[in-house]
Structure 1
Amino acid sequence: MIFYETECMLCKQQFKLEEGTKKYKEYKVDRKKKLWCDPCERNVLDQARKGFLSRY
């Protein structure tokens, strides 16, 4: 299996981008792009949902 290894923008830990995923394709096009690991992405999305729902 082909993969790239990059650093998470938030937690600064190394993580793998496996072939066939959306993040892999984005990284393949632009290697300077900053990406988040899956746990950090879930936390950011959860916080965004909480902030959005608290307005209503």
Structure 2
Amino acid sequence: MHYEVICTSCKRTFKLSEGEEQYKQYKERKSHLFYCENCKHKIRFDAIRNFFRNY
């Protein structure tokens, strides 16, 4: 089973598969912000890059 949601960042539709953390959050209505794999990777990479830029 899966849900189709819209990525908060790029506005593209993607699927949340059963077993993923975001799937659980969507099902329990705990979060309204969902990110596709590409956007999650970009956000994580930017956070790491900014962390090392400050040191």
TM-score range, shorter chain: over 0.9
1:19 paired residue number: 18
What stretches of structure 1 of length at least 5 have no aligned partner?
A: none
Deviations 1:23-51 (A, max 9, x none): 10011011761201010010011001000
TM-score relative to the length of structure 2: 0.93
> Once superposed, what is the RMSD of the aligned Cα atoms?
1.3
Identical positions, percent: 35
- Secondary structure of the residue that 2:34 maps to in structure 1? coil
Structure 2: segments with no counterpart, 5+ residues: none
State the 4+ residue runs in structure 1 displaced beyond 4 angstroms: none
Between the two proteins, the alignment pairs up a number of residues equal to 55
- TM-score for the superposition, normalised by structure 1: 0.91
